Amino acid sequence: MRRDSNIPTGGQACPNVSEDAGPLLQWPVAPTTVRLEPGQLHIWAAALNEFVSQAPILGSLLSPAEQARAEKFKFLEHRNHYLVRHGLLRLILSRYLQQHPSAIHFQHGPKGKPELRRKENSLPLFFNTSHSAEITVCAVTSACPIGVDVERTRQIPDIEGIARRFFLPRETQTLMALSPESRLQAFYVCWVRKEAFLKATGEGISAGLARVEVTVAPHEKPMVVSIAGEQRVREQWQLHPFSPAPGYVGCVAYRNAPLVLSQWRQAEIAT
C-alpha cells in the first residue's frame, strides 16, 4: 500500500487521462476461473471510480483494523478509494486462496512489506500492490517475492532537478539526452522500475532510489543495470513494463527466471 504518488509534480495532468470519465483500462476482463501455474505472473488493474458505489460492500470484507483506518480519512473520496483498493485486493487473492475474502489474514515481513499469513504446509502466494490517481494494480505469483509500481504521468516542472536528486548520474544523463517529447515518459519509466525493484526487496524507496540503476532509454531492454554498484547480479532480476491505461506506466520486478505474464482488469462485483 502506498501514497498516491511519491513523485513531486506540478502543472496539468497528462492530456491522455480524462479527469471526468476516469482512465480507460485497456486490459481484458479476467476469466471466470483463474489458475496460477508455477511459472506465471498475473497483474490485475482496476479503475477505482468504477467501484465507488460498491465501497460499503467492499469495506465489509476488511478486517476491523482496516475499517478503523478507513474511518480516519478526512475526505470521503479518500476513504472510499481505500475501501475499494483493499476490498478488491481481498477479492482477487480469494480467487487463488479459495477462501472468503474476509477470512484472509495479512502480516508484515521483516522490512514491513505486506504479505499473506500462511497456514501450515500451505503453498506460498506472493503479491504486491500499487496505486496512482484512479488506478490500482495488484501483481500475484507463486514463484517468488515481487514488487509492482504504477504512476500516472503528470507534468514535472523541474524534471532535470528532480532526476538529479533521485536518479544516478548515468540515468540522468541518458534522460536529458532524449528529445523533450520523450523525456517525461522516460522519467516515469525509470521511476517505476526503481520503485518496483525496491518493493520486491521489501525495502521501499526509503532505501534510496539511487541504490539501483535501471535502463532508461526507450530503445534499451528493461533491466536492472546494477545494485549498489554491483553489476554481476543484474541478470538475476527481471523487469516487466506495463501500461493499464493511457497516461499510466507501470513495472513489476522480481528476482527469478522469467515468468509468463497475464494482464487483466477487475470487472464490477456482483451486488
Give residue-wise pLDDT tens across range 92-104.
999 999 999 999 9
The more confident residue out of 10 and 44 is 44
In angstroms, the Cα distances linking 210 to 117, 205, 268 are: 32, 9, 39
Higher-confidence residue of 86 and 119: namely 86
Specify the CATH superfamily of domain 40-144+258-265: 4'-phosphopantetheinyl transferase domain (3.90.470.20)
Nearest CA among 6, 39, 31, 3 for reference residue 162: 6
Instruction: Give the mean pLDDT of 41-47.
Output: 98
- Beta-bridge partners for 136: 46, 131
In the β-sheet with 260-265, what is the strand arrangement from edge to edge? 126-132, 135-141, 40-47, 260-265
Candidate from 14-18, 126-130, 139-143, 244-248 with smallest mean pLDDT: 14-18
What is this structure's pTM? Answer: 0.90
Give the integer Cα–Cα distance in Å for 37 and 182.
37
Which among 178, 101, 106, 134 is positioned nearest to 18, based on CA atoms? 134
Does the domain spanning 151-255 belong to CATH 3.30.1330.40? Answer: no
User: What's the pLDDT band for 2 if we cut at 50, 70, 90?
Assistant: very low
Please state, in angstroms and rounded to a whole number, the distance separating the CA atoms of residues 175 and 183: 6
pLDDT in tens, 142-160: 999 999 999 999 999 999 9
Longest dimension (CA), the chain: 54
CB-based contact 214:197 (threshold 8 Å):
yes
| pLDDT confidence of residue 159 | 96
Residue 271 pLDDT greater than 60, yes or no: no
Q: Do 151-255 and 40-144+258-265 have the same topology in CATH?
A: yes
Reported confidence tier of residue 78, pLDDT bands at 50, 70, 90:
very high
Q: Where are the domains of the chain?
A: 40-144+258-265, 151-255
pLDDT digits over 196-245, tens only?
999 999 887 766 888 899 999 988 999 999 998 888 888 899 999 999 99
- Which triple of cell numbers denotes residue 123? 503453498
Count of beta carbons in the 10 Å neighbourhood of residue 208: 13
